[in-house]
Copies of this chain bind each other. A is one copy, B any other.
Amino acid sequence: MLWLLRVESKTNRKANKITRVALVEDEPGVRTNLASIIDNAPGFQTCGIYADGLSALKGISANPPDMVLMDINLPGITGTECVKRLKNVLPKLPVLMLTVYDDSDQVFKSLMAGATGYLLKRTPKDKLLAAIDEIMSGGAPMSRQIARSVVQFFQELKQAPAVVQRAPEIKSLTDREEQVLEHLSKGYAYKEIADRLNISFETVRTYVRSIYEKLHVHSRTEATLKYLGH
C-alpha cells in the first residue's frame, strides 16, 4: 500500500491574510453574537452583516467577502434561495449554512443550491471558527448529524426498487384498524369513515387512537405517511 508522503498544506492562502466573513442572519441576538465571535478571533473579520436574503444579495455582490455564513431560515427568501442566487453571481464564493434543525430535505436543497458546508447553530465558537478555516482550505465542514444524513442519502441510493416499503408496524394492525387507516389516509373525516364502515363516530375515534399508538404517531398525516410508505 502506498503512503503519500506529501504533507497537506494547511492553508492555501497567505498565513497573515485575514478571512473576511459576510454574515446573513435575521435574529439580532445571534447576529451580534456571531459577529463578535468573528471579529474577536485573530485572522477573521466580518465584511458585511445582513439581516435578510435580499439585502445580503445586494451587499455581497457589491462587496464580496472571502466566505459567507448564512442562516437557513430567513424572512423573505430562504437561505437556500439566497445561496442559489448568490452562486449565480459569485460561483466560487464558499457558503457555510447555519441551521437549528437537522432537516435532511433542507440540507440537500441547500447543498444542491451550492452551499459548501453545513453547521447546526448550537456549534460552539471554536468549532465554528475551525469550520470557517476548513471551508477556506478546501473542505466542506458539516456537523456530525448532518454528515450522517448525507451519508444515509447515499446508502438509500443503492436499492431504489419501486416497491413501496410500508412501515412494519402496519402488520400489527387488526383488520378493522387497517380499514380505518386506509380511509384516514384518503383524508375522510371521522364522520365519513364511520358512515362508510357502518360503525359509529366514536368507534372510529377508538380505532384511530389505537392505530396511532401502534404506529407511534400523533396525527393523521404522520399515520398517512407511514401507511403510504414515506
Interface residues of A (CB under 8 A from B): 1-4, 6-8, 25-27, 30, 71, 73-75, 77-78, 81, 100-101, 103, 105, 108, 111-117, 121-122, 134, 137-142, 144-145, 147-148, 150-151, 154-155, 157-159, 175, 179, 182, 184-187, 189, 196-199, 217-222, 224-225, 228, 230
**CB–CB B157/A73 < 8 A:** no
- Oligomeric state, in number of copies? 2
Cross-interface CB contact of A187 among B100, B182, B225, cutoff 8 Å: B225
Would A100 and B1 count as touching, CB distance under 8 A?
yes
Q: Shortest beta-carbon distance, A133 to chain B, in Å?
A: 10
Chain B: CB-nearest residue to A77: B175
Q: How far is the CB of A221 from chain B (nearest CB, A)?
A: 4
Residues of B within 8 A of A8 (CB): 122
A30 to B141, CA, bound (A): 27
Contact status of A219 and B187, CB under 8 A, knowing A151-B117, A157-B112, A175-B81: yes
B-side contacts of A182, CB under 8 Å: 105
Q: What residues of chain B lie closer than 8 Å to A134, measured between beta carbons?
A: 144
Q: B139 touching A73 by the CB < 8 A rule?
A: no
Inter-chain contacts of A220 with B (CB < 8 A): 220-221
- 26 residue pairs from A and B, CB less than 8 Å apart: A1-B25, A1-B27, A8-B122, A75-B199, A77-B175, A78-B175, A78-B179, A78-B197, A111-B154, A112-B154, A112-B157, A114-B158, A137-B144, A139-B144, A139-B145, A139-B147, A140-B148, A141-B144, A141-B147, A142-B142, A150-B154, A187-B221, A187-B222, A220-B221, A228-B228, A228-B230
List B contacts of A218 (CB < 8 A): 6
Q: Known contacts A73-B197, A139-B147; is A225 also within 8 Å of B186 by CB? A: yes
Asked if B144 and A150 sit within 8 Å, CB to CB, the answer is no
User: CA of A140 to CA of B189 in the docked complex: distance in angstroms?
Assistant: 33
Report yes or no: A114 in contact with B155, Cβ–Cβ below 8 A: yes
Residues of B within 8 A of A224 (CB): 221, 224-225
